[in-house]
Amino acid sequence: MHNIDNVRMLELPELGDEKGNLVIAESGKDIPFEIKRVFYIYGSDPHVVRGCHANKVSEFVLINVAGSSKVKVLDGEGNEIIYSLNRPKTGIYLPSMVWKEMYDFSSDSVLLVLASTHYDENEYVRDLEEYKKLVREC
């Protein structure tokens, strides 16, 4: 089984009334890992491609809390899936060792990222050919 088989959309719990909506994301319950880091991407031009890397250890959940974007996920063996993120209560779970590219950002896009680890540059694979080689070796 490839890690790309574990990529999946998440539907987060939402509460709402006449005052507005509240989306809930709890570690280990709605998010399949303990959250160690949170960051967000905004102000990206629609033609910009972000990400372009795999992580050896980190898992992620990506949620467009405003606007929209697309996420392309590759497994290093020729398979790819494209996801559209356009609802603030829907996210995508990305396990370790999948290549990810985020693009087609709307002008109001705010892409929230929840990570299972603290930042460690050494666990990033930023070269696609190196990533494909690592996948073949597994």
Residue 50 neighbours by CB under 8 Å, 6+ apart = 41, 44, 101, 102, 103, 105
Residue 47 falls in the annotated catalytic set: no
Active-site option among 2, 47, 53, 118: 53
| Dihedral sign (CA 104, 108, 113, 119) | positive
Cβ–Cβ < 8 Å for 21, 14: yes
Coil, helix or strand for 33? coil
Coil, helix or strand for 14? strand
What the block records as the tokens of 122 is 């050494």
Cβ–Cβ < 8 Å for 85, 91: yes
Give the residue numbers marked as catalytic: 53
